[in-house]
A and B are shown apart, each in its own frame.
Chain A
């Protein structure tokens, strides 16, 4: 593996005229001596290897092996999805890599090479500044995990999924695989077979976690598949905000990220799950995310997809209890060679449930952004409402956007509405800004930021600032 390309990255940052952000922020890697390596390819032995390294209970090994069978049996979903999926070579992927680390509780204990990675990405500062807890995952396993003492004292559990399974089986097993069954789709089956890492959060009844909990995912190794598994349970009346950030260095061979995230909001609970994803342009990001909202509960996905080669991600909420509320706020930016196939699923399963989907996408260069949605209101329900709005912005003549919603309504006591629009940035607007001294790229960036501004304001401030800068970067060289 190539030694750290730090110098290149720093040079690039110096040359970068967009103030305050390193264009190659995640584009570096370190040689790491992995103690555990499942090798390439996926067989029953790979699954047994992962399970034995993690010293798992028999039931979990059985669960994994069954999932592997499902994965092998299920066809690729190419009858509706992009053919690019066929380019994933499952035999060349490495399914488990770790240095045998247990997550460290203090920053000083984290091995130097891994620490350097996260320091470059600014994790320790973020943690000190405004987080209630943080977990940093490096390839397959968490390298660092910490929760503020005050939050822990309230009974909040925030550990990686391996620890969660081992130490809180009674809480974990009850909901594990219940929101997203193994056979939900080919990639949820894959994740169920080889998952490692990810977070487990439990918030006891009535506890409102005042600051966000954060996880940071980092792919360091080439040809690697990261399969984290996250389960968040907010007990009755509890509230929690969880944020995840992702980076991967750029390798010439593609890399796979296939997570499964399950959220459970019990009666009156609120969960907000925020993702800002900026994977390298060779990552296949195929993620299944779904929440279960009980009576009066609220689940809100805020999803921002910028990087990756192909993202297929449709966060959903199953509105299981009366008056439950689901929301998906999503921003996608697809640049050259990228396809953001994102969307939302709202499954209404109780009376008076409401859901809202707002999706904005920007296609730059030859980028392709797709919205794929599903709204389902079955028979005999009443008072259910859904609102969906999708807006797409096309920057260059070769940009592409698609919208494929599917809305099913049964009965006359419910209402849905869907609106979508596709447009470009007005030339008058760009001309006006250029007249006032902005370059075309700056003007375009301002226009794009204006397009997503109402959504970006819903992000925590640090994230909305990061988002704005990422957009500035993507707009650079994209016009003219």
Chain B
């Protein structure tokens, strides 16, 4: 019998057995039937798909493919006292904090925005109150970057998350803050954030990912969907700072329609091993996607980043800038692809991966790719891996700045090109804090 139809083995489903899935379904039984049906179908896909192998092109250089799905449990109900949550000083349009999938803080959307029809809810509430809107957008984009199995797992076990909707011609000037906390060792979490900006709407959403306690081992398989309607603008910032023992998989799907602009920035700081897949679709003329990432990798951390920019219509543009700073024995993988469909003439696409090597044991892999099927385009990419020039370090040291501090300053200098694109000062400060904290570990 071919392996694709053979019964799933415990190796391919690990802790996520049918019994575990049945237990999960009882927890979400109050949610709409269509959603439960989709989850059942997702579980079947998860169970049927093989685990990725290191020899798969989408997992080249990755140790992640060897990860085990064993030894994880679905989140236990949390005592509010255990949550250690904080909203990190984000005083925005609304704040939502979830610990082990349970809402622990819900400072709902400010009245001035609520009156205009802005929705900011937990995903469960949104499924119950705004079912059609959620159904139209939640997890409707295919997984194309190698993690089909994990994307199915995410959909099957997704319990709660955040939903942001901004109606036509509405601008929310201050950011929404969403906080996902993981508590207890061995917990498996499936956070999700869905952002829908209708025509000419403008919104900023910040996602924070943290473990309640350092040293706990967690498995996180999260996702986000960003939909920018005609002329809409979305700024999305994700700050990943899970405990150093966490295995993290995170999938992003961005859709930009006519003249829409989406900026997403992912800061990767936490986790033992983290894989991030980002898939951006430029669907109509004038669409623009700005894909940014900063990684500060230390100790034996591995960050695996896979990106896809698909230009499906003429006159679209995208810009990707992924900067990695590598210390100690850290490892990064960047594999990016720009695809220009045959009809997408006048595409302007750029993709850049810069690796700053700060240690003799660090390891950086770059696979920047292009697949171009239209001829009237401007597509370029670049990748560099190098250290800080010795003269620059010497200059700082000769002025009394210790090496570690000099490294920190130079890393901030290296990152500033990306950080500078975040207009909101609070978000800029939070990003900087997380980066700075890494140098104190």
Residues of A participating in the B interface, judged by any CB pair closer than 8 Å? 79-80, 363, 379-380, 392, 394-424
Within 8 A of A (CB), among B223-259: none
Nearest chain A CB to B248 CB, angstrom units: 23
Nearest chain B CB to A379 CB, angstrom units: 7
Q: Are B386 and A79 neighbours in the complex by a CB distance under 8 Å?
A: no
Nearest chain A CB to B55 CB, angstrom units: 7
Bound CA–CA A411/B359 (angstroms): 6
Nearest chain A CB to B170 CB, angstrom units: 39
Bound CA–CA A67/B345 (angstroms): 48
Nearest chain B CB to A195 CB, angstrom units: 28
Q: Are B357 and A409 neighbours in the complex by a CB distance under 8 Å?
A: yes
- 22 A–B contacts, CB within 8 A, in A order: A363-B375, A392-B370, A397-B374, A397-B376, A398-B373, A401-B372, A405-B383, A407-B365, A410-B363, A411-B357, A412-B387, A414-B357, A414-B385, A417-B383, A417-B384, A418-B366, A419-B380, A419-B382, A421-B378, A422-B377, A423-B377, A424-B375
CB-nearest residue of chain A relative to B366? A407
Please, which residues of chain B bring their CB within 8 A of the CB of A407?
364-367, 383, 385
Please, which residues of chain A bring their CB within 8 A of the CB of B57?
79-80
Residue of B357, B379, B384 touching A418 (CB-CB under 8 A): B384
Residues of B participating in the A interface, judged by any CB pair closer than 8 Å? 55-57, 60-61, 342, 345, 355, 357-387
Please, which residues of chain B bring their CB within 8 A of the CB of A415?
384-387
Nearest chain A CB to B145 CB, angstrom units: 15
Interface centre among A80, A363, A416 (most CB of B within 10 A): A416
Chief secondary structure at chain A's binding surface = strand
Q: Are B383 and A416 neighbours in the complex by a CB distance under 8 Å?
A: yes
Please, which residues of chain B bring their CB within 8 A of the CB of A401?
370-372
Bound CA–CA A94/B359 (angstroms): 54
Nearest chain A CB to B358 CB, angstrom units: 6
Please, which residues of chain B bring their CB within 8 A of the CB of A420?
368, 370, 380-382
Nearest chain A CB to B392 CB, angstrom units: 13
Residue of A396, A410, A416 touching B361 (CB-CB under 8 A): A410
Please, which residues of chain B bring their CB within 8 A of the CB of A413?
360, 387
Residue of A79, A80, A394, A408 touching B375 (CB-CB under 8 A): A394
Bound CA–CA A417/B366 (angstroms): 10
Please, which residues of chain B bring their CB within 8 A of the CB of A392?
370, 372
Bound CA–CA A419/B367 (angstroms): 12
Nearest chain B CB to A377 CB, angstrom units: 8
Nearest chain B CB to A375 CB, angstrom units: 9
Bound CA–CA A155/B213 (angstroms): 74
Q: A79-B56, A401-B372 are in contact. List 19 more A-B contacts (CB 8 A).
A: A79-B57, A379-B361, A379-B363, A396-B375, A397-B374, A397-B375, A398-B373, A399-B375, A400-B371, A402-B370, A409-B364, A410-B362, A411-B357, A417-B382, A417-B386, A418-B368, A420-B382, A422-B378, A424-B375
Q: Are A403 and B381 neighbours in the complex by a CB distance under 8 Å?
A: yes
Bound CA–CA A395/B376 (angstroms): 9
Q: A416-B386, A419-B380 are in contact. Are A409 and B355 (CB under 8 A)?
A: yes
Nearest chain A CB to B369 CB, angstrom units: 5
Residue of B56, B358, B378, B383 touching A412 (CB-CB under 8 A): B358
Residue of B55, B355, B368 touching A79 (CB-CB under 8 A): B55
Bound CA–CA A422/B86 (angstroms): 47
Bound CA–CA A421/B375 (angstroms): 12
Please, which residues of chain A bring their CB within 8 A of the CB of B357?
409, 411-412, 414
Nearest chain A CB to B227 CB, angstrom units: 29
Q: Are B373 and A400 neighbours in the complex by a CB distance under 8 Å?
A: yes
Q: Are A424 and B376 neighbours in the complex by a CB distance under 8 Å?
A: yes
Q: A409-B357, A410-B361 are in contact. Are A422 and B370 (CB under 8 A)?
A: yes
Nearest chain A CB to B121 CB, angstrom units: 43
Bound CA–CA A329/B312 (angstroms): 33
Bound CA–CA A399/B342 (angstroms): 9
Nearest chain A CB to B379 CB, angstrom units: 4
Residue of A80, A400, A405, A409 touching B363 (CB-CB under 8 A): A409
Please, which residues of chain B bring their CB within 8 A of the CB of A421?
378-380
Interface centre among B360, B379, B385 (most CB of A within 10 A): B385
Q: Are A404 and B367 neighbours in the complex by a CB distance under 8 Å?
A: yes
Bound CA–CA A80/B362 (angstroms): 27
Residue of B365, B372, B380 touching A406 (CB-CB under 8 A): B365
Please, which residues of chain A bring their CB within 8 A of the CB of B383?
405, 407, 416-418
Q: A417-B384, A422-B378 are in contact. Are A412 and B360 (CB under 8 A)?
A: yes
